[in-house]
């Protein structure tokens, strides 16, 4: 019985050692297969250099475009006020300030300088079926400015157009991408357009 147990243990030890050898050989083979070739190492190093360079460039651009960067000598409050005045004037004129066909012709260049060419070409188009009466209000809001060349602005205006013998209140809202250094609209996106039916149902439930 003792002999059989010793023999059994010896066989187990052999099997265990064989398993270890197989695992060791497989590990060595796997390591050899996955050792990068010299060319691959060079490519990896170059990729790391390129990535590091891009990180530095991106960081520098973000710093240069920040209103907090001292070298910009940039007064964010003043520039936001100027932008607010320009956008307000552009929206007030476009939606409520153009009364006649001649107004559309003579005011288009002014609106284009304030709001951009794309905006003017789309909205400053005379339509005899739409008669603006007045602009009631304009509100301009800046998001937290991180890039002075691409400030995010939300603007809303409410105005009235002629409807029958009376008037109809309308409202329209935009998101603007705005360059505070040049005081120019980079791009705009129409967010909402509300008719009188919608406006009557807007408000608080309190």
Question: What would the pLDDT profile of 88-122 be if each residue is shown by its tens digit?
Answer: 999 999 999 999 999 999 999 999 999 999 999 99
Q: What pLDDT, on a 0 to 100 scale, did the predictor assign at position 146? A: 87
Q: What pLDDT, on a 0 to 100 scale, did the predictor assign at position 4? A: 44
Q: What pLDDT, on a 0 to 100 scale, did the predictor assign at position 171? A: 93
Residue range 45-64: mean pLDDT, rounded: 62
Q: What pLDDT, on a 0 to 100 scale, did the predictor assign at position 126? A: 93
Question: What would the pLDDT profile of 147-164 be if each residue is shown by its tens digit?
Answer: 899 999 999 999 999 988
Return the SS3 of 190. strand
Mean of the per-residue pLDDT values of the chain: 78
Q: Where are the domains of the chain?
A: 2-65, 75-200
Indicate the pLDDT class of residue 57, thresholds 50, 70 and 90.
Answer: low
If you classify domain 75-200 with CATH, what class do you get?
alpha beta
Q: For residue 73, what is the DSSP state?
A: -
Q: What pLDDT, on a 0 to 100 scale, did the predictor assign at position 192? A: 83
Closest CA to 74 of 147, 134, 1: 147
Q: What pLDDT, on a 0 to 100 scale, did the predictor assign at position 42? A: 72
Q: Give the angle subtended at the CA of 162 by the CAs of 202 and 169, to the nearest 5°.
A: 10
pLDDT for 30 beyond 60: no
**DSSP β-bridge partners for residue 188:** 176
CA distances in angstroms from 162 to 10, 99, 102, 132, 136, listed in the order given: 104, 11, 18, 6, 14
Residue range 16-35: mean pLDDT, rounded: 59
pLDDT for 79 beyond 90: yes
């Amino acid at each position: 019985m003792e002999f059989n147990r010793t023999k059994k243990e010896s066989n187990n030890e052999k099997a265990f050692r064989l398993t270890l050898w197989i695992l060791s050989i497989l590990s060595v083979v796997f390591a050899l297969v996955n050792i990068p070739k010299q060319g691959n190492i060079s490519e990896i190093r170059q990729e790391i250099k390129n990535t590091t360079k891009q990180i530095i460039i991106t960081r520098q651009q973000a710093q240069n475009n920040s209103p907090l960067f001292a070298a910009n000598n940039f007064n964010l409050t003043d520039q936001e006020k100027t932008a607010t005045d320009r956008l307000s004037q552009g929206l007030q004129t476009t939606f409520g300030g153009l009364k006649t066909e001649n107004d559309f012709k003579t005011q288009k260049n002014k609106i284009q300088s304030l709001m951009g060419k794309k905006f003017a070409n789309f909205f400053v188009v005379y339509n005899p079926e739409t008669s603006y009466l007045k602009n009631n209000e304009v509100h301009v809001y800046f998001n937290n400015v991180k890039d002075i060349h691409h400030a995010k602005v939300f603007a809303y205006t409410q105005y009235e157009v002629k409807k029958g013998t009376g008037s109809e209140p309308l409202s329209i809202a935009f998101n603007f991408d705005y360059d505070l250094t040049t005081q120019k609209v980079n791009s705009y996106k129409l967010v909402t357009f509300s008719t009188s039916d919608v406006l009557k149902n807007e408000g608080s439930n309190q």
